Amino acid sequence: MTDRGPRADVCVIGAGPAGALVAHRAAKAGYSVVVLDAGPRFDFEGRSEREERAIRPGSSKPPWNMGEEGGHGKRDAYTSSGPKEYPLNTARVKGVGGSTLHWQGMVMRLHERDFRLHSETGMGVDWPLSYADLRPYYARAERAFGVAGASDNPFAPPRTTPFPLPAFPPSHSDAMFAEACESLEITTHSVPNARNSESYRGRSECLGYGTCKPVCPSGAKYDATATIDGAEKAGAVVIDRAPVQHLEHDDAGDRVVAAVYATPDGKTHRQEASEFVLAAGGVEIPRLLLLSKSPQYPDGLANSSGLVGRYFTDHFFAGVGGVVDERTRQHHVGFNTTESHQFYDQPADGSRTAIKLEFWNYAGPTPADIALSGSSLGDDLLDNIREEYGNHLAVGALVEQVPQYENRVTLDDSKTDDHGNPVPEIVWSLDDRTRRTIERANRIQHRIMDELDANVRWVIGPEKTGPAFHHMGTTRMGTDPKSSVVGPDMRTHDLDNLTVAGSSVFPTTGAMNPTLTIAALSLSAADELLDRLA
């Protein structure tokens, strides 16, 4: 084992949005920063090829090289052993940029009530932070991402700053939904998006490829490589293909002294630093802490509470889709431009959780999907495409799950990765309260589709539901070291110089896409870290 380079002021583990923002902030402040990421760099010039791979019918190679078919099966191996199957590799990326390389790009602030959920509904716990504490960091995160939005959401929390970019206009199908929702007294509004409605900070405006998830070829959709580029220009050193194997702490067990990581040549290296930041996501962060057990921490590093890996939480999905007797221009826009938060705030009796309705611009098959779905050719194929393309609609929803102690990320000692380490094991389940919320979401969705005289083709309800792939809660934040892993400054209770940046610190989840809150918390954590370094 060797020391790869000089001791750094800050070592960041993970080059997704959380790690990128912390690294950029620290490097701009003049501190030496080393970023370690388990995956490779992906050349920007290769995105068109990845887009083609993603949309090519019958393609079996994932565009961002995750899992067995991407040639990294052992590296990305995991176990799902809970009551609800969890397909982990479906929506994560190991590499510089992280999962923002293929995310949808919707960025909402949590509601004020989300921060005091227990006080107001009796469910879950309260956050040790308030919305007011995070509001300035939300604004900074929106500027960092280049968020396009409008102040037309009557249910949104209060703002003191405008969005950096104007909102995207409503789509053709949005107008259809708006008319139906107005008849049902359901309020609709625009969606804040981390994609450029006009050019921003050297990045192109949206060119309408419609393949936002999983590949944006133009770079109009924000991904963390833009922030990593800024960090490197400010002096940060980024080392890719450097999976951290474990963390070492000092004799007293008070401070982390080094991150031990592997390189493709088969060697291991130690990176020493004054401050360490874990920013590798809600699955790999608890896994690394559990892999870093020692005599002082026999149950895993920073785990005196026994809660590392506990309360693994995701948003469940609910949806209804079908066809109507008019053109909807499906797939004309590759992301959501209209939503409704009308059903978001939870009832005070705690009987069910929050719902965020999404009106899709990309429901139904593409012409290529239709062409490959049957044996018709020539004029018959054209007739089939005319019949099946351009008349689909769908209403989706994210549903809040109250964190459950038994849902967790742990280690599967019977299965190892490409370095011989136990793989993550995920235990996930659907509780009765969340089941009732999914059923409620379906009822609302059916009302909207009925108002549109739609022929319903599919329903995703409690029996078919799956995750939104928002990994939250596995190193929860709180003020009591016995019931949380990190404090309000995102620093672990057990080690003075170990910060966790990301959604794993969420005590509860709301029903909003988490990335803007991840960014706001990461910027707040970076300020706390810089105060300690000063």
Do 106 and 341 contact (CB within 8 A), yes or no? no
Torsions phi, psi for 67 (to 5 deg) = 85, -170
Q: What are phi and psi of 259, to 5 degrees?
A: -105, 125
User: Is 446 a catalytic site residue?
Assistant: no
| DSSP 8-state symbol, 89 | G
SS3 527: helix
Q: Which of 24, 315, 470, 471 is catalytic?
A: 470
The single residue listed with the structure tokens 């980024």 is 238
C-alpha pair distances (Å), 7 with each of 214, 215, 337: 37, 36, 46
Q: Are strands 237-239 and 33-36 parallel, antiparallel or unpaired?
A: parallel
DSSP string, 90-117: GG---STTGGGGT---B--PPPGGGGGH
- φ/ψ of 423, rounded to 5, equals -85, 160
Give 240-266 as a 3 state SS string.
Answer: CCCCEEEEEECCCCCCEEEEEEECCCC
The C-alpha atoms of residue 102 and residue 214 are separated, in whole angstroms, by 4
Q: What tokens were used for 491?
A: 């620093």
CA dist., res. 447 & res. 326, Å (int): 19
Residue type, 259: A
Report d(CA 247, CA 278) in Å as an integer.
10
Active site amino acids = 470
